[in-house]
Amino acid sequence: MKEILRVEDLTFQYPGADERVLENVNLKINEGDFVAIIGSNGSGKTTLCKTFNGLIPHYHVGDFEGRVIVGSDDTTQTSVSKLAQRVGYVYQNFEEQLVRPTVYDEVTFAPLNFGFKDYKKRGQAAIELLGLEPIKHKFIWELSGGQKHLVALAGVLALDPDIIIIDEPVAQLDPANAIEIYEKLKYLNEEHGKTIIVIEHHTEFIGDYCKSVVMMGRGYVAWHKPVKQALSRIDELREKNIFPPQVTQAAYELSVSNDTYPINLDEGLDYFSDISKPSFTTARRHRFTKKIDIEPVITFNNVKHSYRTLSKDKRVALNNLNISFYEGDRVALIGNNGAGKSTLLKMITGLIKPSQGDAIVCGNNTRQISSEDLAEEVTYIYQNPEEMFISDNIRQDIEYYLKSRNEENLDEFVDQIIETLGLEELQDRDGRLLSGGQQRRASLAIGTAMKPSVILLDEPTASLDIVSRKEMLNMIEKLEEWVKTVIVATHDMQLVSDWADRIIVLNEGEILKDTDQYGVFEDGELLSKTHIKPPQILELSRRLKMTPIALSVEEFVNRLGGEEVEAI
Amino acid sequence: MKLFSDLIAKISVETIKMELMKTAYGTDDTFLSKLDSRILIVWYLIFAILPWLFFNKTIIIGLLLFMIVMASMSKVSKLIVALLSFSLIAEFSSIFIVSYFFGGGVESIGPLILLSTKLVIIALASISIFTSMDPEKFSDALLSFGLSGRYCFGVSYGYRILPLLFEEYNNIFNSFRLRGKMPEQKGFLGWRSIYYYLKIIILGFYPMILNTAKRIRTTVEALELKGFTYSLDNEEVKKLKLSYMKVGKQDILFLASSICIVAIIITIGKIYPL
């Protein structure tokens, strides 16, 4: 196979930094490969990728030694504008990459800048390649996150690059959109011979789509292996806080001695239906029971809400909603974008009032109380934590609510929260300068310090890597000591299956199902209707016809082993 | 000050955002929007200067009528008209109060009305032009007048990120609202509440500026990769970018007939001065 990219003894240090980000990196990538780059946070993945298109050393100047060769050109001898036409880059925060008002303008922008006479044709080709024709003339700000990501990719494709680098696509997208992006990448890879490089934490996607894996240690390439061998190195991956696909983990737990394990759902199905047909044990279901004898914390009576769009159409966000939430509920709201999750949350805060019907929150009708007063009972934690940082540092942010109410002895209480959420070291820093996981924890702390009865979380685990996600889950569990009811709107099915005890599936403003894990993840029809993608192990056990399905790798392994365990 | 908070709740940020974006991008079907943007800018400049050259009331009234017709032809949004009237009334009364205190008396109303009418003419001219011309065309027109590429890009990018900034500001503003506390004593005419709201309206901008500054780093890098810097010093690219702009028969006709109308207005004004 032809080589398309070679890195030789590359060492790089950012100006003013104490350590080298890259140290003696050697790597070869062949044409037509679909490579995943993995490694812990701070291992230099993004920095390495920025040397491929010449941003390093041309744009980010620093101490650069060694060589990077794209095709046959040395990147130090080639300009960024020339390299950009051969190596496309889609950023993790791709929304900031979009600079033009409409999809068509965006996609034709780069070829126009490079002075291609046929820039319109190039843009059009990229639009067709990714199936963006229906939204071609839409404004960027009208699009969903998934569509924006496709537009960013199209903008890159319009230059017809040989190599496309995508920085953490799954982190910022909901699972259905992430699958769509990966399907398009697969198509570009297989049908158009593009070399694809993804930086990815989610090994399940790697197992489904990638051909080889590059593992990075701190600033160096530890190895580059075919995907099956790579993902089967379970102990090493876990050591680096990378979690192999659940199917692989389950197979590993059941037979440690193998060299390779199944790495995706299909392989898992083959593997387990061969060895284990007769020996599933059943488990008791923990049934969800409707609480009727206690006073609800929140009640919606025939709530309807609609809003106008730019073209003056009326869109129904919530339709005839009747629902109650109780003390002790751990509610997960799930459903597509536009299903009404955010509207429902904002209605509980009183920021949106129902067009019809009543929302009763902690004994108050939201129509008769201002959001300011309701904020004493209900806290809403934004999806983007940066919108909650309104003071100079985290500690002041946490204190803001208490101070504006002249609470006395707040130090002890604030210290307690800071300790619980592990923010001791960070409390004097500006929230914007923290990492994604730290920002989320800080936003939880700010919310908790408002001493609410109800806490609402909008996508609390979006764009977090798996370690920070697990941390976040622990933190959300700790919240129960402080509040009565927690409601989470999320696309993260792992969070749903690990944490929630009540799951509400919304679809086009209506409640499709009000149930528990089994009710959602065993219902094949519901799953395909709402495009919900269950965690791999749940899907595996459903396809293997385990009843009830296993909710964790541990449970799956135990039940295959024949011991009876109680389902959680 | 229940009224004030009700008002804030009623004018949803969503509505303002929609109106603004409609004004900027949403009018492709009016007569003016089909004309070349450079001609429109020249036309606007003429009407921005013209009112200052005359004290003849007939001419001023004629120009005002002409501008009202133009503005109604370009389907100016109601929000913009409301904003315009509000600022006009505020401006008029504040100048009047100042002049009254400095001994101006009631007789200052006459000249003040004349001044305000001139301002209205210019304002109407500018809104009929800018509702008919999306920021893209405006930016391209500036580019073809020879302004720097960076500046012209800034104009169009500024509009493009406006809806994002709006949403972000709204969320930050709500953070202040929900985590702060309104003063319990409203004060005389609710001045404490008004002061409180004004304070958080201003404070809300700081976090937004910081967030934007952080995000923009990616944008600048991406611009580099999209060949923006490359295009700046390249005359060929500029030509390619502007190749769609053409001054046609319609444009000349529009400019010529506008000048004719102005000439007629001036002549009538000279013959029948008020």
Question: Shortest Cα distance from B34 to chain A (angstroms)?
Answer: 18
pLDDT number for residue A568: 35
- Are A157 and A131 in contact, with CB atoms under 8 Å apart? no
Contact call for A96 and B168, based on CB within 8 A: no
Least confident of A291-295, A437-441, B45-49: A291-295
B176, B223, B237 member nearest A390 (Cβ): B176
Question: Shortest Cα distance from A310 to chain B (angstroms)?
Answer: 6
Chain B residues inside the 8 Å CB shell of A119: 240
Taking 50 as the threshold, does the pLDDT of residue A278 lie above it? Answer: no
Contact call for A400 and B179, based on CB within 8 A: yes
For residue A384, with 0-12 CB atoms within 10 Å meaning exposed, 13-18 middle and 19 or more buried, which class applies?
middle
B175, B216, B237 member nearest A388 (Cβ): B175
Contact call for B21 and A117, based on CB within 8 A: no
- Are A49 and A197 in contact, with CB atoms under 8 Å apart? yes
> What's the pLDDT tens digit per position in A41-86?
778 899 999 999 999 899 888 899 999 999 999 999 999 989 999 9
Residue B22, Cα to own-chain centre: how many angstroms? 13
> What's the pLDDT tens digit per position in B148-160?
889 999 999 998 8
Core vs surface per residue A517-527: b (16+ CB within 10 A) or e: bbbbbbbeebb
Contact call for B210 and A432, based on CB within 8 A: yes
Contact call for A115 and B237, based on CB within 8 A: yes
Mutate which: A58, A79, A81, vs B, most B CBs within 10 A: A81
3-state secondary structure B124-150: HHHHHHHHHCCHHHHHHHHHHCCCCHH
Contact call for B237 and A401, based on CB within 8 A: no
Mutate which: B12, B15, B178, vs A, most A CBs within 10 A: B178
pLDDT number for residue A567: 38
- Are A125 and A158 in contact, with CB atoms under 8 Å apart? yes
The verdict on B166 touching A (C-beta cutoff 8 Å) is no
The verdict on B218 touching A (C-beta cutoff 8 Å) is yes
The verdict on B216 touching A (C-beta cutoff 8 Å) is yes
Neighbouring CB atoms inside 10 A of A481's CB total 8
Instruction: Measure the CA–CA gap between A333 and A499, rounded to whole angstroms.
Output: 12
The verdict on B220 touching A (C-beta cutoff 8 Å) is no
A140, A370, A401 member nearest B179 (Cβ): A401
Taking 80 as the threshold, does the pLDDT of residue A566 lie above it? Answer: no
pLDDT number for residue A565: 41
Instruction: Measure the CA–CA gap between A103 and A95, rounded to whole angstroms.
Output: 12
* Arithmetic mean of pLDDT, A32-37: 96
Strand partners of residue A3: A30
B180, B227, B240 member nearest A117 (Cβ): B240
Question: Shortest Cα distance from A401 to chain B (angstroms)?
Answer: 5
Chain B residues inside the 8 Å CB shell of A105: 136
> What's the pLDDT tens digit per position in B73-110?
887 877 788 888 888 889 888 888 888 888 777 778 88
For residue A231, with 0-12 CB atoms within 10 Å meaning exposed, 13-18 middle and 19 or more buried, which class applies?
buried
Contact call for B171 and A387, based on CB within 8 A: yes
Instruction: Measure the CA–CA gap between A39 and A222, rounded to whole angstroms.
Output: 9
A97, A310, A380 member nearest B222 (Cβ): A97
Question: Shortest Cα distance from B159 to chain A (angstroms)?
Answer: 8
> What's the pLDDT tens digit per position in A362-398?
999 999 988 888 998 999 999 889 999 999 999 999 9
- Are A334 and A490 in contact, with CB atoms under 8 Å apart? yes
* Arithmetic mean of pLDDT, B12-40: 77
Chain B residues inside the 8 Å CB shell of A139: 21, 25
> What's the pLDDT tens digit per position in A80-138?
989 999 999 999 889 999 999 899 999 999 999 999 999 999 999 999 999 999 999 98
Chain B, residues 19-78, CB within 8 A of chain A, namely: 21-22, 25-26
The verdict on B243 touching A (C-beta cutoff 8 Å) is no
Which residue has tokens 């044409």?
Answer: A31
Q: How confident is the model at residue B5 (pLDDT cuts 50, 70, 90)?
A: low
Q: What percent of chain A has pLDDT over 90?
A: 54
Least confident of A275-279, A359-363, A546-550, B139-143: A275-279
pLDDT number for residue A69: 95
Chain A residues inside the 8 Å CB shell of B174: 351, 371
